[in-house]
Amino acid sequence: MQKEIKLQLAYLRKRKGITQQKLAEIVGTSYQNISKWENGITMPDITVLPVLAECFEVTTDQLLGLVALQDEGYQEEKTDTNEFWNQKLTYLLRQQKIGWNEDYIEFLLKQVWDIQKPIDILDLGCGYGYMGAVLLRYLPEGSTYTGVDFSAKLLQFGEKLFKEEKISATMIQGDILEYQTQKKYDMTMCKSVLRHHGDSEPIIRKMMEFTKNGGLIVCIDTNRELESDGLYIEGMPYDKLCERNGSRKHWIAEYENGDRDYAAAMRNAHQMHRLGIKDIEMRMNDKVSFFAPDQPDYAEKIADMMDFNELWYEEPEKKVIERLMNHGMTRREAMAYYQRGREINEFLKENPESTITWLRGTIITFGRK
């Protein structure tokens, strides 16, 4: 059954607080035409619909009444749920391939944190335990790793990974905010967790609760501003690759609605300081990826990058654009943002020997309880 077209023009105009005359000037028509459209006497030309949709920051389908207007307010991304992360194993595996230089992790452990004897580590929001597997390779023998996450699928993969590498680890399924233990750890950490929470304080307090006096508290997150400027593809205009296309509006809407914190990497030290953590320092992950055709794993890297880019576009275009608009973007910004990702993949398909630089901007913030 086809939905009935019911132009939402009058409602949208009044909600915006403009007159028929003002709208007529914006669209380039007469106020008489606006009146006819609002009263259902005539319909605007198909070429005018995108202009009207842009004016009111809605989709064309919303303008025509085919899709409900999102007056119910902001819709959360819900990236801090078991359901979300159970579907993200492939995404996480691709991320870790380009995430770290292991010698830098060894540098942090031995030179910055000066760890010379076995320690016990607790990782809140561990995913499949990537950081644990890497840390234990460079820590003194006898060190232990405990990971907590609510995704059964990620934990099962992690248990398999640790078994294959013959590493002893404890993986616990549970909500990190509800997790309880009497044990105190030498290091409590979280990686790419705080950016998915609008308020980091409860999680950092949990980390403090589980850490020995004098123990390390480590928060690792990616700075989204640096991440957005961190991609260069030879042959594509760098200014185009760095275009925000309303991204900041999207990030701010998430933060103001308590959904996600786009600047968690920059805020973590300040929150830790307010909560009484001492000797706070910040470091930046030194990993910068360069892809070139003469590298033996070049094809795999490009395929991973394209697949990673496609993950964002698993939903239909219309649904993605509606979500971006609900998060503060104009229709034009949402369409441009969506299109840019498509253009990157199309360019890589048409130019299979492109050279690429990719910087993620990961910040490590740490201090002592």
Other beta carbons within 10 Å of 363? 19
User: Tokens 């968690």 belong to which residue?
Assistant: 264
pTM: 0.78
CA–CA separation, 90 and 304 (whole Å): 10
Q: What is the mean pLDDT of the chain?
A: 86
State yes or no: pLDDT of 151 exceeds 80: yes
Whose CA is closest to 47, among 19, 28, 30?
28
Q: Is 264 helix (H, G, I), strand (E, B) or coil?
A: helix
Mean pLDDT of 50-77: 74
User: Using 50, 70 and 90 to split pLDDT, how confident is the model at 87?
Assistant: low
- Categorise residue 139: left if φ over 0, alpha if ψ from -120 to 50, beta otherwise: beta
Mean pLDDT of 59-85: 66
* Most confident of the following: 22-31, 102-111, 151-160, 336-345: 102-111
Q: What is the pLDDT of residues 283-330, one digit of tens each?
A: 999 999 899 999 998 988 888 777 766 656 667 787 788 778 777 787
Burial of 286 (C-beta count, 10 Å sphere; 0-12/13-18/19+): exposed
Whose CA is closest to 236, among 345, 313, 80?
345
State yes or no: pLDDT of 15 exceeds 50: yes
* Residue 82, strand partner residues: none
Distances (CA, A) of 288 to 99, 111, 124, 227, 359: 9, 21, 26, 11, 5
Phi, psi of 359 (to 5 degrees): -110, 130
Whose CA is closest to 109, among 82, 154, 145?
145
Mean pLDDT of 27-53: 87
**CATH (residue range 82-368):** 3.40.50.150
Domain boundaries 9-63, CATH class = mainly alpha
Mean pLDDT of 199-205: 92
- The H or E element that residue 15 is part of is helix 9-16
Locate all alpha helices (DSSP H) within 59-111, ordered by sequence. 60-63, 82-86, 89-97, 102-107
Beta strands in 109-150 (DSSP E): 120-124, 144-149
Find the radius of gyration of the CA atoms of the chain. Answer: 25
| DSSP code for 295 | S
> Of the ranges 91-100, 109-118, 340-349, which one carries the lowest mean pLDDT score?
91-100
Q: DSSP letters along 172-222, please?
A: EES-TTT---S--EEEEEEES-GGGSS--HHHHHHHHHTEEEEEEEEEEEE
State yes or no: pLDDT of 78 exceeds 70: no
Q: What is the pLDDT of residue 31?
A: 83
> Of the ranges 71-75, 229-233, 342-346, which one carries the lowest mean pLDDT score?
71-75
Buried/exposed code over 193-224 (b: 16+ C-beta within 10 A; e: otherwise)? bbbbbbebeebbebbbebbbeebbbbbbbbbb
User: Using 50, 70 and 90 to split pLDDT, how confident is the model at 62?
Assistant: confident
> Of the ranges 135-139, 342-346, 362-366, which one carries the lowest mean pLDDT score?
342-346
Q: What is the pLDDT of residue 83?
A: 64
* Side-chain-side CA neighbours of residue 360 (13 Å): 22
- Pairing relationship of beta strands 185-191 and 278-284 according to DSSP bridges: unpaired
Mean pLDDT of 93-101: 76
Percent of the chain with pLDDT over 90: 40
What amino acid occupies position 3? Answer: K
Q: What is the pLDDT of residue 329?
A: 81
User: Using 50, 70 and 90 to split pLDDT, how confident is the model at 2?
Assistant: very low
User: Using 50, 70 and 90 to split pLDDT, how confident is the model at 82?
Assistant: low
State yes or no: pLDDT of 116 exceeds 50: yes
Q: Where in the chain is the domain with CATH 3.40.50.150?
A: 82-368
> Of the ranges 132-136, 177-181, 243-247, which one carries the lowest mean pLDDT score?
243-247
- Sorted by sequence, the CB contacts under 8 Å of residue 322 that are 6+ apart come out as 59, 62, 67, 70
Q: Where in the chain is the domain with CATH 1.10.260.40?
A: 9-63
Residues 292 and 355: beta-carbon distance below 8 Å: yes
Higher pLDDT, 342 or 91: 342
Q: How far is CA 171 from the centre of its chain?
A: 24
Q: Is 67 helix (H, G, I), strand (E, B) or coil?
A: coil
* Most confident of the following: 11-15, 40-44, 290-294: 290-294
Burial of 96 (C-beta count, 10 Å sphere; 0-12/13-18/19+): middle
State yes or no: pLDDT of 1 exceeds 50: no
Higher pLDDT, 97 or 31: 31
State yes or no: pLDDT of 359 exceeds 70: yes
User: Using 50, 70 and 90 to split pLDDT, how confident is the model at 56?
Assistant: confident
Mean pLDDT of 88-112: 83
CA–CA separation, 106 and 110 (whole Å): 6
- Sorted by sequence, the CB contacts under 8 Å of residue 338 that are 6+ apart come out as 313, 317, 320, 321, 324
Q: What is the pLDDT of residues 242-268, one digit of tens each?
A: 887 788 888 888 787 777 888 999 999
State yes or no: pLDDT of 110 exceeds 80: yes
Q: What is the pLDDT of residue 40?
A: 79
Higher pLDDT, 143 or 62: 143
